[in-house]
Structure 1
Amino acid sequence: MKNDRKQFWLGVRDLMPLMSGVLPFGLITGATGMSLGMDPGMVVGMTALFFAGSAQLAAYSLIQDNAPFVIIVATTMVINLRFAIYSASFAPILGPLPKRYRFSLAYILSDQVYGLCSMPVQMAKNRSERIWYLAGVALALYVTWMISVILGIVLGAGIPAHWSLEFTIPLAFLAMLVTTITSRLLLMVAVISGCCAIAFQLLPFNSGFIVAVAAGVLGGWLLPGWLLPGWLKMRGASHE
């Protein structure tokens, strides 16, 4: 039990360096919700329910455009599809747990949690150690996220409406996008998605976003098959 507590607090400690990225994102999320005229309780409830900043900002944008409820739900589900992949990788250690623990830990799963808990040093630990480490990272992140959004609500309540903080939504997504482009393939996928988003922006109910996501996924699936053979051929020719 002592070692389990140690793993929990180790997870909390390992998350600390990542809080610098979580705090400003949460401030933007809270302040933007207030700038859209939402009630503070609604923003807090939405944050607690979603626990997914990118999906919450996308929902803000759609709410601002008076999109139908079905479109809002579909968009947030598309954005959060990656969590299905994350969950599959944690299924072996979380599966045997009682439902109340399994569902709770699955609910507070996030990109940061997946990144830290899937590192080789964590994969080498036994099942109990991994569960407690995951719980430490996830709970610390959840508390940090909620506090940062509440601070954003407090700050947003004092920001004049004519500042129009709605522009922070696309800026936040651009900031996230830039950090994920680490290869030529990812750059091409981003370009494809961006071009489709522009080309189909006039589709009703902001459904052009879903088209852009589908085009990006399709590009990421097909491009390696087209580019890799040509790249290997060029390398072979250069060694002759």
Structure 2
Amino acid sequence: MTDHILLVEDDPRLAEFIEAELSLEGYRVTVAANGIHGLAIAREAQPDLLILDWMLPGISGLDVCLRLRSTGIQVPIILLTAKDEVPDRVVGLNAGADDYVTKPFSIEELLARVKARLRCTHPEAPDLLEFEDLTLNRLARQVYRGKQLIALTAKEFDLLEFLLRHPRQVLTRDQILEKVWGYDFMGESNIIEVYIRALRLKLEASTPKRLLHTVRGVGYVLRETL
């Protein structure tokens, strides 16, 4: 599952460097060059984490932080700044930032802070996911329907795991595409429908009771048959 990080940094060289390093770590990165643009993206896209420079054109990173918190947006925020005095740190944390990295910094330190913050917001999923008579073992990458072992491809397994993490919740096509295939997926437009169909055939091979349902015009949901 790919975490989405919003980087708001007005220094193009630094932004390009951080973006490249985060991408190499497997994150999906969006870059904004000023506070106004960054604030708009944070509100609309609701990223998993925000890396925010303090000194920005338009509105400052501190103001972006304050405005996000005032509207109830609780995305984890890491502030980047050359201000390294204790009172500055206090101001940043009081504005709602979760962490604080002073410039110049090592990229290893920033990556470690990013991983730590994301761990706090994404508690480890249990190794065993269950729903009705369906069981998925994340470590063994095995799926059972009752006592019947079901052979799945790697992507079918990822799709089913995502559905099992959100039972009885209607998941939109865009949510599935972003979390299972990645936001910038450029493959076939009907890829989700193809995999849903394949999953149903395998899950219902030993029992006709349907667990994976289509909500027309919205998406898909894992729930009991009504």
TM-score by shorter chain over 0.5: no
Q: Which has the higher strand share?
A: 2
Greater per-residue helix proportion: 1
Normalising by structure 2, report the TM-score.
Answer: 0.26
